[in-house]
Structure 1
């Protein structure tokens, strides 16, 4: 974590009023200028495709490639531009996730183009498509790192208490390291113009003098963020000390998203079934050969809107009947040899595809918890029930960021990740979680 706090000499209140009381002739914020540079970078990249097309034409006249190669390169401009649009739409996500974001933004449009070629029986060149894809990944990745990921944003503030509040949001047990950011005490509109935004303490007294000053900043095109919103941008978590109750209204705007996500869930289960069934049968056989007892483990969990359902898993412990609700422990002696393997690579979760098919779960969402633990946390952790506003998932934002939790304090951190997902659930975030889940499946990260 590298948070730089620049605190130049305080500007007297009268000087502030004088500075912001003049004409509001100020350029746009640094955030808008960076977005403009990213757009210019995307347009500049079209020259690469132009050069590729000229080269392809030369190779076609030389008889090395056919016209299909050139046509495929021309079609590839569409997913190239789509990749930059997706990156722009995902700028609200922590920039530390840049590598995954670039991979998703570049891969998805080209995958859709490939599906379109197959669906409409359009002849295409694999070599041209691969060349265009690699060009897109390299150009968009370099641009994202230059203008977003490696850029350290500067946020201004007028009240030192805002920094103390932000420190409280950043200091949470078991949390991933936040992105870098610098802070500067500002006292004039000209100073604010060089910042990416103004960080505000929402609990500060709304006196007329402060209100007039903030109005001048707003009219000068200075972006304003609450301390909690800046914390979200840095960490991918929601601060739990002062949650904006209005974020509950955000999910109501995602009705279409929820419907499409449900369609994708069902389609994905049907597509994966031929691959999953053999793996599930082999897993079940290994469990049965190693230890006596049922192959499947059933447990009541809390789902969407607080309703309960029976979650299915492959049994990974020698004895699990009547076990009290508790945190998963490292090197749990109850876990069998087969259980350690299937837990590491999440094969014990395969039966939950049935829960997804019957709409009790989704592929992406907060992990469902046991009823006794939910009852306990609902009494001891404020805002805990809000995580049940969305359907629970096989993998979630908390799982790929934090892994499993082993204490009450880490559960609070996990809730901050879950509520971030509830507030910002989108296809971009779902795709990012899916990519990071694949990494988990390959590495066994976070398994217990």
Structure 2
């Protein structure tokens, strides 16, 4: 975290006032509209090539169809601007690929003629245009936040410095003593728990009337890290959870459809894993364990056994290079093949594909008494993969569990289809690389 001192600037050089999020969205919107000229050029060249007999009319028509996923890609990216900018590459790839995949599905479902070359050209053009615009206007931009009280920096440091956490997005901070200095910042960082006094209230009102965006320390921490600050959490930060009713219903339907689609691959792969486990060691291939699910309700979770069989083993963290893990177990844990049976838990409604990982009942009982706000993670259905898993991996200590909770509560607070899709993409990376396995 870099700190800078403010420098007076002439009034005519004052940057546009208002939210930096709005400014970023406006820049990306202008970039999207400019990109339509590029599509127009491609269509004009395609029409010229058609008259010259180089391509068919289907090529031009496919380019025209591709304008829709191009625009929808920018909509998806706009909806995900609240996520940390360090996730930019994943967001751009996701926002571009999904709309074009949907268009390809429509072509196949309705038996419409299309040009693979034109579709590929449109996809590559969209991906390059969005990637360049995002890096120029969003990811490479280092925001500057002002502050009036140095104590807010100390509070922010507590949020940023957590064991096992991913690094925060680059940001600069500078002290603010006047309105002229404040309007040159992207926002003002404040301690919302600070004692109010008439002078402070008048100053903040002046900032607000000048369209200076003001953020709490906790909100700045969320924007930079993708975590919720537990030391200064607000008791009412989940008041808007009820607004996610439609999202929860639609997500459940998606879970069911996804499991049914994966079943033809998961069943034979699971059979191979089960046979390998039985050939290497004695004991059942399937492992059952009590976990805590939605609203704190316990359920039985299924996994393929990856450790030596011990019916009386107590609940404990998995250590790095854990000696209990078998040779087959190391492979299936690395690539998460041990979690294939949990697709049944998803089908039964105990779990979702995306959500906080369910913990063992004894651990939940312990953490509920030792870690404040721990039960809040049970406000959403647990998942096969979650925000904490793709950002942090497995945890092995009480301190890392606190960090994990900060990621889980960020998901509970900001759960959305955009965040779920981002987690899905990062989970695929985990499956391919074995990141975070123990």
Contact in 2 for aligned 1:94/1:179 (Cα 8 Å):
yes
Task: Give the CA deviation at 1:359.
Answer: 0.4
Contact in 1 for aligned 2:18/2:213 (Cα 8 Å):
no
Residues 243-252 or 370-379, more deviating: 243-252
In structure 2, C-alpha distance between the alignment counterparts of 1:125 and 1:423, rounded to whole Å: 43
Residue 110 of structure 2: which of 113, 120, 124 is its match? 120
Task: Give the CA deviation at 1:32.
Answer: 3.3
- Which residue number corresponds to residue 442 of structure 1? 432
Alignment of 1:53 with 2:43, yes or no, is yes
Deviations 1:366-419 (A, max 9, x none): 000001111111111101111000000000000000000010000000000000
Classify the secondary structure of the residue corresponding to 1:309.
strand
Deviations 1:50-100 (A, max 9, x none): 111011112211222111111111111111111111111111100000000
Classify the secondary structure of the residue corresponding to 1:225.
strand
In structure 1, C-alpha distance between the alignment counterparts of 2:297 and 2:16, rounded to whole Å: 53
- Which residue number corresponds to residue 410 of structure 1? 400
- Which residue number corresponds to residue 249 of structure 1? 239
In structure 1, C-alpha distance between the alignment counterparts of 2:435 and 2:18, rounded to whole Å: 43
Residue 4 of structure 1: which of 2, 5, 22 is its match? 2
| TM-score with structure 1 setting the length | 0.94
Task: Give the CA deviation at 1:188.
Answer: 2.5
Deviations 1:267-298 (A, max 9, x none): 00001101111101111111111111111000
Contact in 1 for aligned 2:295/2:380 (Cα 8 Å):
yes
Name stretches of at least 5 consecutive residues in structure 1 with no aligned partner.
11-24
In structure 2, C-alpha distance between the alignment counterparts of 1:59 and 1:332, rounded to whole Å: 63
Deviations 1:118-161 (A, max 9, x none): 22222111111111111111110111111111110011111111
Residue 34 of structure 2: which of 44, 58, 72 is its match? 44
In structure 2, C-alpha distance between the alignment counterparts of 1:345 and 1:261, rounded to whole Å: 25
Alignment of 1:97 with 2:87, yes or no, is yes
Residue 426 of structure 1: which of 386, 394, 416 is its match? 416
Contact in 2 for aligned 1:29/1:193 (Cα 8 Å):
no
Contact in 2 for aligned 1:251/1:423 (Cα 8 Å):
yes
- Which residue number corresponds to residue 180 of structure 1? 170
- Which residue number corresponds to residue 357 of structure 1? 347
Residue 208 of structure 1: which of 165, 173, 198 is its match? 198
Classify the secondary structure of the residue corresponding to 1:145.
helix
Contact in 2 for aligned 1:29/1:194 (Cα 8 Å):
no
- Which residue number corresponds to residue 151 of structure 2? 161
Task: Give the CA deviation at 1:351.
Answer: 0.1
In structure 1, C-alpha distance between the alignment counterparts of 2:24 and 2:408, rounded to whole Å: 30
Classify the secondary structure of the residue corresponding to 2:309.
coil
In structure 2, C-alpha distance between the alignment counterparts of 1:114 and 1:389, rounded to whole Å: 36
In structure 1, C-alpha distance between the alignment counterparts of 2:259 and 2:357, rounded to whole Å: 18
Residues 232-241 or 106-115, more deviating: 106-115
Q: What is the RMSD computed on CA atoms of the aligned residues?
A: 1.5
| TM-score with structure 2 setting the length | 0.96
Classify the secondary structure of the residue corresponding to 1:374.
helix
Output aligned runs, 1:222-371, within 5 Å: 222-371=212-361
Classify the secondary structure of the residue corresponding to 2:311.
coil
Deviations 1:172-195 (A, max 9, x none): 000000000011112232322221
- Which residue number corresponds to residue 12 of structure 2? none
Contact in 2 for aligned 1:30/1:194 (Cα 8 Å):
no
Classify the secondary structure of the residue corresponding to 1:322.
coil
Contact in 2 for aligned 1:30/1:193 (Cα 8 Å):
no
Contact in 2 for aligned 1:179/1:235 (Cα 8 Å):
yes
- Which residue number corresponds to residue 194 of structure 1? 184
Name stretches of at least 5 consecutive residues in structure 2 with no aligned partner.
9-14
Contact in 1 for aligned 2:282/2:309 (Cα 8 Å):
no
In structure 2, C-alpha distance between the alignment counterparts of 1:217 and 1:97, rounded to whole Å: 31
